[in-house]
Amino acid sequence: MGGTDSGDAVVLLDGVTKAFRGHLGVGRTVAVRGLTLGVEGGGIFGLLGPNGAGKTTTLKMMVGLLRPDRGTVLLFGRPPSDPAARIRLGFLPENPYFYDYLTGEEFLDFYGRLRGLAGRERWRRVREVLGQVGLAGRERTPLRKCSKGMVQRLGLAQALLHEPDLLILDEPMSGLDPLGRRDVRDLILAQRAAGRTVLFSSHILQDAETICDRVAILVGGALRFEGALQDAVSRRVLWYEVAVTGVAPGRLPGSVLSSSGEEILLKVPDEASLGELIRAVQEGGGRIGSVWPRRDSLEELFLREIGPGAGSKGAA
C-alpha cells in the first residue's frame, strides 16, 4: 500500500555540505559537512544530536527548502526541488507557525487543496486528521487563539493530511507536555504500523530510544554513528546505583556517590558486589531505598561523542 520499493532509499544524501554566512556576512558556520546518509523505506529513523548539530539544516535540505553547497540530495529518487518528489512527503518544521487569521479547519482545507484533495474527500480527510491529532471539536478555533501544543498538533495534522509514504518531522515532541509527547509517540508508531516511513529529529534521547528502528547521530554537522539502535547502545549494565538508609557508609562495600541526611547513594560495579552490599545492609539493620542498574544508554553515547575535542564550528 505504501508504494515504496523495499530496499530502495526514500531519502539519500551523498557528500552533502552546507554552510551559513555569519551575522552581517561576517564569518561562516559549517552546519553540515560531508554527510552521506540513506533512509530506507519502512520503519522509524531518528536523526539525533545536540542543539546546533545540523539536524534542522539536514532535514531542510531533504525537503528542498535549502540547497546544499556541495553534494547531492535525492528524495524518492528525485531532487527535492522537483515538486513531483514531494508528492508523497509530509513535513513538520521545527516550532511551526501557521496563518493566524485562519481557523484550524480553513488552514487544513487550504493545504488539502495544495495536496490535490477534491471537495468531499478533502472535507472528510480534514475531519479525520483533526481527530487523529486530538483536535476534534477545535475545528473553528482561530489559530491566533491556539496554544503552542495545539499548533504543534495542527502541524502534525497538515503533515498527515494526504496520507504520505514519508513523514519528516523536525523535533516533533519539543514544546509538548508529557501527555502530548506520548500522543506524538503513539502517532509515529501508528504510522509505522501502517507501513509508512517516519524520519524525525530530536535532541532528547528518551524520545528516540524507545521507538527508533535506526538512528543517525550528528555532532558538529558530521555523522558520528548510523545504524540499528541496538548497535548504538549496548544493553550491558555498567554499574548499579543503590540508595541505602540507616547504616554508616564505612561498613559497606562500594564507593559513595553522594549522601544527603540519612540516605546514602552507593555505586557497585557488578551483580556479585551488589549481593554483598545488600547482605551488609541487612546485617547492619539498614534499608535499601532503590537499586538502579545504569546501562549504556544513548545519553552516555552522546556524552562520549560530544566529549572532549568535539569542536563543531569552523570559522573562516
Partner 1 sequence: MSGRGPTAPGPAATVGAIALNTFREAIRDRVLYLLLAFALLVIGAGRFLALLTVGDEEKIVKDLGLSAVSIFGLLTAVFVGVSLVFKEIEKRTVLTLLVHPVHRWQFVAGKYAGLATVLLVNTGLMGAVLSLLVVLRGGAPGPVAIGIVMIFVELLVVAAFAVLFSSFTNPILAAVGTVAVYVAGHLSWSFDLLKRRLPEGAARVACDAARAIVPNLDRLDVKAEAVHALPIAPARVALGIAYGAAYALAVLVLACAVFSRRDFE
Ligand X SMILES: Nc1ncnc2c1ncn2[C@@H]1O[C@H](COP(=O)(O)OP(=O)(O)O)[C@@H](O)[C@H]1O
Residue 67 binds to ligand X (criterion: CB under 6 A): no
Measured CA to CA in angstroms, residue 124 lies from 3, 17, 99, 163 at distances of: 23, 42, 22, 13
- Which one among 33, 55, 153, 214 touches ligand X, defined by CB under 6 A? 55
- Sole window of 8-16, 37-45, 50-58, 265-273 interacting with ligand X (rule: CB under 6 A): 50-58
Q: Which residues bind Mg ion (CB under 5 A)?
A: 55-56, 94
Which cell numbers in the block locate residue 52?
546546533
Nearest to 192 by CA among 173, 211, 205: 211
- Sole window of 53-61, 82-90, 226-234, 240-248 interacting with ligand X (rule: CB under 6 A): 53-61
Q: What distance in Å separates the CA atoms of residue 92 and residue 286, rounded to the nearest whole number?
A: 53
Q: How far is CA 124 from the centre of its chain?
A: 30
- Which one among 12, 13, 53, 61 touches ligand X, defined by CB under 6 A? 53
Closest separation between CB of residue 40 and ligand X, Å? 22
Q: What distance in Å separates the CA atoms of residue 111 and residue 88, rounded to the nearest whole number?
A: 14
Choose the contact partner of 84 out of Mg ion, partner 1, ligand X, none; CB within 5 to 8 A by kind.
partner 1
Q: Which residues bind partner 1 (CB under 8 A)?
A: 3, 20, 60, 63-67, 83-84, 86-89, 91-93, 96-99, 101-102, 106, 110-111, 113-116, 118, 121, 155, 158, 162-165
Which cell numbers in the block locate residue 103?
481557523
User: Where does the chain show beta strands of DSSP type E?
Assistant: 9-21, 28-40, 43-48, 70-75, 89-92, 166-170, 197-202, 214-219, 222-228, 237-245, 255-260, 263-268, 287-295
Specify burial of residue 266 (Cβ count, 10 A radius: 0-12, 13-18, 19+).
buried
Closest separation between CB of residue 65 and partner 1, Å? 4
Beta strand pairing call for 197-202 and 43-48: parallel
Closest separation between CB of residue 124 and partner 1, Å? 10
Quick one: 56 or 103, whose CB is closer to ligand X?
56
Cell numbers 553522594 correspond to what residue? 258
Quick one: 72 or 210, whose CB is closer to partner 1?
72
Q: What distance in Å separates the CA atoms of residue 89 and residue 196, rounded to the nearest whole number?
A: 11
Choose the contact partner of 110 out of ligand X, partner 1, Mg ion, none; CB within 5 to 8 A by kind.
partner 1
Residue 172 binds to ligand X (criterion: CB under 6 A): no
Quick one: 53 or 135, whose CB is closer to ligand X?
53
Which residues are within 8 A (CB) of 38 and not within 5 positions of it... i.e. 6 or more apart? Answer: 9, 11, 12, 13
Closest separation between CB of residue 53 and Mg ion, Å? 8
Q: For residue 254, count other CB atoms closer than 10 A to its CB.
A: 22
Cell numbers 555540505 correspond to what residue? 17
Quick one: 41 or 49, whose CB is closer to ligand X?
49
- Sole window of 35-43, 51-59, 140-148, 186-194 interacting with ligand X (rule: CB under 6 A): 51-59
Choose the contact partner of 52 out of Mg ion, partner 1, ligand X, none; CB within 5 to 8 A by kind.
ligand X
- Which one among 41, 49, 68, 134 touches ligand X, defined by CB under 6 A? 49
Closest separation between CB of residue 311 and partner 1, Å? 23
Quick one: 31 or 187, whose CB is closer to Mg ion?
31
Residues interacting with ligand X, by CB under 6 A? 20, 29, 31, 49, 51-57
